[in-house]
Amino acid sequence: MSNLLRTIVSILFVLWIIGFITKFTGSFIHLLLVLAVILFAYDVIMRNRSDI
């Protein structure tokens, strides 16, 4: 599950960078970034929880 979340976060981050460079619709780019950050935070929280 962790590998899947990292893959999704990586893809969203790359799409965000591409959109930022090409000036793709601004709100969509920020939505991708927020989604990537939320998934990354979820991954970190779940990883820390499994270590306990």
**Angstrom distances, CA of residue 23 to CA of 1, 3, 16, 26, 31:** 32, 30, 10, 7, 14
Most distant CA pair in the chain, distance: 43
- The predicted-structure confidence for 1-49, as pLDDT tens digits, reads as follows 568 877 887 887 787 777 777 766 667 767 777 888 888 888 888 877 6
Token duo for residue 6: 């990292």
pTM of the model: 0.52
